[in-house]
Amino acid sequence: KQIIKGKRRDAIMKKYFDVAVEKYVANKKFHVVRPASLANPKDNAVMFIMKEYFDSVSVLYKVNDCLIFWPEEEKVPEEIENRNAIKKCENPHLEYCKFYRDNKITYLPKKVDGEYIDGSFIAKHAVIGSNVCIMPGAYIGEEVCIGDNAYIGAGVKLVGEVSIGNNVVIRENTIIGADGLSTDRDADGKAATMPQFGKVVLEDDVQIGANTVIARGAIDETIIKRGSKIDNSCFISHNVHIGEDSFVVGETIMFGSSKLGDMAFISGNSTVRNGIAIGNRATVGMGAVVVKNVEDGAIVKGNPAR
């Protein structure tokens, strides 16, 4: 497979499903084949926008033939409506999740061709750099790209699209690329869960401890940037972004779409609420529960963190 900046050429505009939009908007006759986000819009995608994110609505002028779930009280610009299928609804996020449930769309890992080498399964199309040490019992999926001089510990599982830089260390029994939980409830209280389609990016010189789980992005990417260190037994959920040279100590949970800046520090057994941003060089004390954004250089501790 040809690699372009760590991505396979055949994955750039990947087709994940095929749904006719006329079942949602009767006068539209095209199909949607992929998910997309406001951060990374694509043509022929299913998307949603909530009222609180209307400052990003301009990105929807750039796409065509999308099914977009839209807040029912908000006006739709004519150009966006002409080029796409707009489904107005009370709760766009719920309808977006129901789209996958109602169309029976899943994105579970598939069995792939590969071979066992020194007790580890390595998929046929996995891309592995030079001087990579893969210990016994590892699983390397076919959408995995590993740079040079990496260490993959015994029992590590790399699932889905995972891009790993040079000099990366992943300790024993860690799972990278597992699904996070992106779900909602319908009017009857039943779960409507969207599959996780995104990837995980570990940049150069990252280290991941043992028994840690890093979830793939829901649509785009979970990213751990150059030089950061994640301790044992942590959970890094979908869409989390961790900056350069930051440390996350054991048993910490960073929930979906939370962010950690550069050279920041999260002490052990801490919890970061979904969507929260922690600034550059900030410090989170042991056992803290972070429910509000943390400014650059701040020190917070306690429950809730102050």
The Cα 151–Cα 208 span in angstroms is 10
Q: Is the peptide bond before 92 cis (omega within 30 degrees of 0)?
A: no
Please give the pLDDT value at position 14. 86
pTM beyond cutoff 0.75: yes
Q: Is 211 helix (H, G, I), strand (E, B) or coil?
A: coil
Q: Which of 51, 72, 47 is nearest to 62 (CA)?
A: 47
| Residue 156 CB neighbours (<10 A) | 24
Question: Percentage of the chain with pLDDT > 90?
Answer: 90
pLDDT mean across residues, the chain = 94
Catalytic site positions: 238
Go through the chain and tell me how many residues it has: 306
**Average pLDDT estimate for 158-185:** 95
**Average pLDDT estimate for 121-149:** 97
The Cα 268–Cα 1 span in angstroms is 40
Please give the pLDDT value at position 12. 55
**Average pLDDT estimate for 214-227:** 97
Determine contact, residues 83/63, Cβ cutoff 8 Å. yes
pLDDT digits (tens, 9 = 90+) for 99-108: 999 999 999 9
Q: Give me Rg for the CA atoms of the chain.
A: 20
